[in-house]
Amino acid sequence: MHKIELKEEDSSMAVGVLTAGIFTVILVMYLFSSKETKEAAGAMIWLVLIVALIGWGLIYDHYKSGMIFEEDGIRLVQAFGRNHYWAYSDVSEVIARKKMFMIYDASGRRAAVFGARLDKHPEIVDLLEEKHVPLQMLDVHTKNQ
């Protein structure tokens, strides 16, 4: 079996592209501006730099983070934070909502929340059923309904 990788389906990538793009252009304009303009900008340019870096961080996070469904378990990869791994035997339940799903560990505690729609990924639903992981599809409209 191959790995199935999911990315979060949120707007962080769009926000990152817009933020990084706009504020990087402002930084470039600042670098090529006159001395008087640079003096007038003062400390404000540091705020622009910080916001541009946050935008680039959102883009980096989108590309590096994700959830990988493997043959033996589920791996949560995070660009900023600790990675997590759950064997299918350690997952007590997966609950899918309209725009996210939650993984519960063996103790019944919510271990992860991921912003992706499982109804758009039937191969993952099939894999969870094959591994005998209880799956609840709450508020999810599938094509079969």
Q: Would residue 108 count as lying in a domain?
A: yes
Among residues 64, 79, 99, which one ends one of the domains? 64
The reply to whether 57 and 111 lie within a common domain is no
Contact between 8 and 62 (Cβ < 8 Å):
yes
Question: How far apart, in Å, do the first and last CA atoms of the chain sit?
Answer: 29
Domain total for the chain? 2
Q: Which domain holds residue 19?
A: 8-64
pLDDT digits (tens, 9 = 90+) for 7-60: 988 888 899 999 999 999 999 999 999 999 888 888 899 999 999 999 999 999
Among residues 64, 81, 112, which one ends one of the domains? 64
The reply to whether 46 and 71 lie within a common domain is no
Rounded to whole angstroms, the Cα distance separating 54 from 81 reads: 16
Q: Would residue 94 count as lying in a domain?
A: yes
The reply to whether 58 and 89 lie within a common domain is no
The reply to whether 92 and 57 lie within a common domain is no
pLDDT digits (tens, 9 = 90+) for 91-110: 999 999 988 999 999 999 99
The reply to whether 128 and 100 lie within a common domain is yes
pLDDT digits (tens, 9 = 90+) for 25-38: 999 999 999 999 88
Q: Would residue 54 count as lying in a domain?
A: yes
Q: Would residue 143 count as lying in a domain?
A: no
